[in-house]
Amino acid sequence: MADETPVAAPEPAVPKSSKNSGSLVMMLVIVLLSNASGAGATWFFVRRAMAAQAVPAAGEDKTKEPVDEAAVLEKSAVIPLEPFVVNLADTDAARYLRIKISLMIDDKSKVKLVEENQALQLKVRDLILQTLTRKTSKDLIADEGKNKLRKEIQDEVGKFFKEPKLNDVMFTEFVIQL
């Protein structure tokens, strides 16, 4: 006779245990609590940092009034410089910068003194040329690089402006040959 192997009867469907759904709910609760505590901590530290920035430093004058830029501009004068065309410090290829710079001084009545002072004019051009030729195109391509350059020029050139005072360095043309 032929061997008959017993065929197993299909098992009845067992409903999912509450243990699995309970651990799923617990995991969701933990994730939500973790996110909420992270958001709360972020809110706390950001608020604290912003409050610290709003408090003036110990050496600052707390009674200082905001600067009226329109009044400053009304008293100021601009001295445009001849354009600069310089080789940049890039080593991989020859790169050039063409830039027009204007200097803003704090007293309109002193413009003639600055324009007639040839030694000052030549020293300013020399310092600007030295500063520009140390830069690479990568240094200057982004706004951050341009702002850093502006500050460097103002710091270097500003030393030679006692009366009138140098208020700002402005770029009126800025072209990099890539």
Distance CA 99, CA 129 (A): 11
Distance CA 73, CA 108 (A): 10
pTM for the model stands at 0.59
Residues 97 and 151 in one domain: yes
Question: Per the structure, how many domains does the chain have?
Answer: 2
Residues 46 and 97 in one domain: no
Strands (E), 24-157: 77-80, 84-87, 96-105
Q: Residue 53 has what pLDDT?
A: 59
Distance CA 90, CA 76 (A): 36
Q: Residue 1 has what pLDDT?
A: 54
Averages of pLDDT over runs of 10 residues in the chain (178 residues) are 60 59 78 70 65 56 61 82 92 92 88 88 94 92 93 92 88 90
Distance CA 43, CA 21 (A): 33
The pLDDT tens digits for 128-152 are 999 999 999 999 999 999 999 999 9
| Domain extent at residue 35 | 19-54
Residues 97 and 134 in one domain: yes
Residue of 109, 99, 170, 108 whose CA lies nearest to 137: 99
Q: Residue 176 has what pLDDT?
A: 92
